[in-house]
């Protein structure tokens, strides 16, 4: 059930609205703008019904504050007004309200407007989620990765915990496509993603398709030894799929992995560590592929095989 917040100093008026919407939505009432701000930023509402005239902070001021907060700015706000003068309506729209309803309430109109805006909000949420997912594999896409990586890097730096950047790709993938065709190539990319995703299930694990046959994993809080061990399992898992390939090194599809684990310092920047992971991947490639190479916290290389 979608959640609606009513912010209105008149309990009678709020109760009337709640009665109209109660059968379809989970409705919460607060009586001051301050409580409204607090509740809106803590709970995931799909719509806010906001009274304009309230003692203390009024509806317009609260609307402005909701628009400034990252967590609340996308939640639609419908203003409740008895002032059916054009000026107030205009002001509301300029400040970012999506609609308004006037007192006394007509239940059918209230329902229709609320339903419309909740539906629009649901579509937008879905579109946002989909724009962050790679269609072929169902894992996070490059765009999601770009957002996530910087936020988490900064978090690890603040908390002074180890951060792992790991890049891997499918060995001789161009040759694979040339031999078996692109549809088979797509299937293989999806199969590799599935194996890796099954090993990256913790809440703090992040895994994305970087592009083409390249993937990136970000781990929080693991030592180099643990991260290295975790990724080795993924490499083995892909080999064990036994997807036929014909290269000088293997008869199956394999992956090469490069990673780095570091506790980010004030002066360290993400891009240079991404570059180190990339160099480790290059080393894995140039030493025969189907292996993992790692740079640990002491800047020592760890080699598999």
Q: Which residues bind Mg ion (CB under 5 A)?
A: 9, 51, 53-54
Q: Minimum CB separation from Mg ion for residue 92, in Å? A: 14
DSSP 206-262: EEEEEETTEEEEEEES--HHHHHHHHHHHHHHHHHT--B---SS-SB--EEEEEEEE
Least Å distance, CB 75 to Mg ion, is 20
Q: Which two tokens stand for residue 195?
A: 């194996």
Q: How far is the CB of 3 from Mg ion (least distance, A)?
A: 22
Whichever of 12 and 266 has its CB closer to Mg ion, that residue is 12
Least separation, in Å, of the C-beta of 91 and Mg ion?
A: 16
How many Å apart are CA 98 and CA 77, to the nearest integer?
Answer: 6
How many CB atoms within 10 Å of residue 55? 9
Q: CB 55 → Mg ion: shortest distance, Å?
A: 8
Q: In the chain, what's the furthest Cα-to-Cα distance?
A: 79
Q: Between residues 13 and 256, which has the closer beta carbon with respect to Mg ion? A: 13
Report the residue number, 12 or 298, with the smaller CB distance to Mg ion.
12
Closest CB to Mg ion among residues 57, 241: 57
d(CA 121, CA 233): 41
Beta carbons within 8 Å of 254's beta carbon, 6+ residues apart? 170, 171, 235, 238, 239, 245, 289, 290
End-to-end CA separation in angstroms for the chain: 54
Name the minimum Å distance from CB 41 to Mg ion.
22
Shortest Å distance, C-beta 82 to Mg ion: 8
Q: How far apart are CA 159 and CA 174, in angstroms?
A: 41
Nearer to Mg ion (CB atom), residue 51 or residue 89: 51
Asked if 18 and 27 count as a contact pair (C-beta separation under 8 A), the reply is: yes
Nearer to Mg ion, 53 or 161 (CB): 53
List the structure tokens of 240: 């064990």
- CB of 54 or CB of 227, closer to Mg ion: 54
């Amino acid at each position: 059930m979608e959640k609606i917040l009513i912010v209105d100093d008149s309990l009678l008026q709020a109760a009337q609205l709640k009665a109209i919407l109660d059968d379809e939505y989970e409705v919460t009432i607060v009586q001051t703008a301050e409580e409204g701000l607090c509740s809106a930023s803590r709970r995931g509402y799909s719509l806010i019904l906001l009274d304009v005239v309230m003692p203390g902070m009024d509806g317009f001021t609260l609307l402005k504050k909701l628009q400034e907060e990252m967590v609340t700015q996308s939640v639609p706000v419908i203003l409740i007004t008895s002032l059916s003068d054009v000026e107030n309506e205009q002001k509301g729209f300029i400040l970012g309200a999506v609609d308004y309803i006037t007192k006394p309430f007509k239940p059918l109109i209230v329902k229709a407007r609320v339903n419309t805006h909740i539906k629009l909000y649901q579509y937008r949420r879905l579109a946002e989620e989909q724009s962050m997912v790679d269609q072929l594999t169902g894992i996070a896409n490059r765009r999601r990765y770009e957002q996530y990586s910087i936020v988490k890097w900064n978090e690890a730096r603040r908390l002074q915990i180890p951060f792992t950047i790991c890049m891997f790709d499918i060995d001789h993938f161009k040759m694979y496509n040339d031999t078996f065709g692109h549809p088979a190539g797509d299937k293989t990319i999806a199969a590799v993603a599935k194996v890796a995703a099954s090993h990256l299930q913790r809440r703090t694990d992040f895994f994305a398709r970087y592009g083409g046959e390249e993937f990136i994993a970000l781990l929080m809080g693991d030592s180099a030894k643990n991260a290295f061990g975790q990724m080795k399992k993924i490499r083995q898992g892909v080999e064990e799929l036994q997807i036929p390939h014909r290269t000088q090194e293997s008869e199956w599809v394999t992956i090469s992995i490069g990673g780095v684990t570091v506790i980010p310092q004030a002066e360290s920047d993400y891009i240079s560590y991404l570059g180190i992971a990339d160099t480790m991947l290059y080393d894995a490639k140039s030493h025969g592929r189907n292996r993992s190479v790692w740079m640990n916290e002491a800047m020592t290389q760890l080699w598999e095989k």
